[in-house]
Amino acid sequence: MATFFFCGVGGIGMSAIALYLKKSGNTVFGSDRSFDTGKHNAVKESLIQAGITLVSQDGKHVPDSTDVFVVSSAIEESVPDVKTALSKKLTIKKRAEVLAEIFNQKTGIAVGGTSGKTTVTAMIGHILFTEGKHPTMINGGISLNTYNNESESNLIYGDSDLCVIEADESDGSIQLYEPAVSVLTNISLDHKPVQETTPLFSNFLNKAKKGAVLNADCPYCQNLSLSQPFIRTFSVSGKTASLSAQNVVFDSHAIRFELNGETFTLPFTGRHNLENALAAAAACQYFDIPLSRALIALMTFKGTKRRLQLIGIEKGVAVIDDYAHNPEKIKASLEALQLHAGRLFCVFQPHGFAPLRLMKNDLIQMLTDKLNNQTFWLMSDVYYAGGTTTKDISSNDIIVPLQQAKKQALYLKRDSVPDWLSAHVQSGDIVAVMGARDDTLTLLAQNILTKIKEKK
């Protein structure tokens, strides 16, 4: 047993590892600047309930007995706790390094890809748990299902050798993992250009010991350099694949499709969620779970927080909280939400200046294609988490071209969004709040719902 200190323990990826290590019998401390400002959320509550000691991030509470000081890739050396760890010459490891040390000792399923990996990880964890495989799941999103009589969490703590994780390519840490099964959901523009991530994904699939799962509908996946002899593919567009969904029908509440002569109905919507379900089912085949049983297990899957999550309905207006933040993810969410017959109001907060700069042209093109006369596109200021960055782009750089293309697009200060929406929505409309990194977007969604409720 060892003593771990997590600097930035409130991060969704950091918290899951901290919880796992605590449940494994280790001593765990943690600090987070968001907690110091009084923020209290589901992550903080789960850390407290697990018995993890939370301290102020002021550099004064890092124990001398700390064996491993854990940081995320977003933490800078100017943070007081990091300064203290350096002065005490503690062993410092990145989040992904600690996760790899846990994962590589187990029979692991690693889920990578630009979009969908959090949901696919949660789906695989749910299937394995439902099938009595007693898995461990370490995820970057909180499951809406509960496991082992515990509260909603980004962790399933199991006593078997099976472990499923979300593998991130944005910082290159995907190379650290040695999976039994690698799952690649798709490839598109996100943190890095596609040309930079393609070699990472090729290596990720090739080194899987049991085999890999690959999206047959993704054009970039066809360009990978693969030597992996065991690959299961999936398709939702009728392409030849190991799992090819046929006669697919999407509506605003469910997906119906045929697979290998059987008909299935899943209680969620959107093409992307059918892709996610097939990817998860294909991965579980490597562990002797038949397709039909895997898909039946997903009939009780409730989803993950901030993935098209319904916050509530007031006066006939539904308010949705969603993590979509790059062109491909926003497109998938738009397509799912536009299955609804009413009007759609999307509120998007870009998750950083560098990401917005990278995806600007693709985002404008995608929105120009996808926004219809029933869809309103609202943007607030770019999210700024601190640190050094060049602020040379704004939300108006997206809004103005959309307005020129005669789309219903508008820039609003974030504080004015609830009032504006409450004055414009009507029964039958949907409001979707979109964006990443900023947990207070959920509060914005709740505030919008409250304003609609108070509307006369």
The CATH number of the domain holding residue 61 is: 3.40.50.720
Cα 407 versus chain centre, distance? 28
Co-location of 87 and 109 in the same domain? no
Q: How far apart are CA 197 and CA 175, in angstroms?
A: 11
Co-location of 156 and 212 in the same domain? yes
Co-location of 132 and 260 in the same domain? yes
Residue 388's SS3 state is coil
Question: Do 94 and 20 contact (CB within 8 A), yes or no?
Answer: no
| Residue that has been written with the tokens 């392409």 in this structure | 239
Co-location of 290 and 416 in the same domain? no
Q: What is the CATH number of the domain that holds 350?
A: 3.90.190.20
Whether 99 is covered by a domain: the verdict is: no
Domain stops at, among 241, 271, 300: 300
- Residue 60's identity, in one-letter code, is K
> In the structure encoding, which two tokens stand for residue 16, read together?
């899951």
Co-location of 45 and 133 in the same domain? no
What pLDDT score does 51 carry? 95
Co-location of 442 and 314 in the same domain? yes
Q: How far apart are CA 344 and CA 183, in angstroms?
A: 33
Cα 336 versus chain centre, distance? 17
Torsion of CA 145, 116, 446, 318, to 10 degrees: -90
Co-location of 278 and 139 in the same domain? yes
Strand order across the 92-94 sheet: 53-55, 27-31, 3-7, 68-71, 92-94
Q: How far apart are CA 270 and CA 256, in angstroms?
A: 11
Co-location of 117 and 90 in the same domain? no
Co-location of 71 and 127 in the same domain? no
Beta strands 317-322; 309-314: pairing state:
antiparallel
Whether 110 is covered by a domain: the verdict is: yes
Question: Do 90 and 59 contact (CB within 8 A), yes or no?
Answer: no
Decide: pTM greater than 0.85: yes
Co-location of 110 and 225 in the same domain? yes
Question: Do 152 and 143 contact (CB within 8 A), yes or no?
Answer: yes
Question: Do 120 and 141 contact (CB within 8 A), yes or no?
Answer: no
Could you report how far apart the first and last alpha carbons of the chain are, in Å?
59
Whether 362 is covered by a domain: the verdict is: yes
pLDDT along the chain (456 residues), means of 10: 95 93 97 83 87 95 96 81 95 95 97 92 98 96 90 91 90 89 88 76 95 94 90 94 95 91 93 95 97 96 91 95 92 92 95 92 96 97 81 95 97 97 96 92 96 90
Closest by CA to 271, choosing from 116, 376, 435, is 116
Give the number of domains in the chain.
3
Give the burial class of 143: count Cβ atoms within 10 A of its Cβ; 0-12 exposed, 13-18 middle, 19 or more buried: buried
| Cβ atoms within 10 Å, residue 456 | 3
Q: How far apart are CA 442 and CA 435, in angstroms?
A: 10
Q: How far apart are CA 231 and CA 239, in angstroms?
A: 15
Whole-number Cα distances in Å, 375 to 73, 91, 246, 337, 420 = 36, 51, 29, 10, 15
Closest by CA to 421, choosing from 356, 345, 360, 354, is 345
Q: What is the CATH number of the domain that holds 147?
A: 3.40.1190.10
Domain of 325 in residue numbering reads as: 309-454
Whether 10 is covered by a domain: the verdict is: yes
What pLDDT score does 449 carry? 97
Whether 194 is covered by a domain: the verdict is: yes
> In the structure encoding, which two tokens stand for residue 451, read together?
């304003």
Domain stops at, among 44, 65, 94: 94
Whether 179 is covered by a domain: the verdict is: yes
Give the burial class of 74: count Cβ atoms within 10 A of its Cβ; 0-12 exposed, 13-18 middle, 19 or more buried: middle
Co-location of 115 and 247 in the same domain? yes
Domain stops at, among 58, 73, 94: 94
Co-location of 287 and 197 in the same domain? yes
| Residue that has been written with the tokens 């323990």 in this structure | 9
Question: Please, which residues have CB within 8 angstroms of residue 176's CB and are 6 or more apart in sequence?
Answer: 96, 97, 99, 100, 104
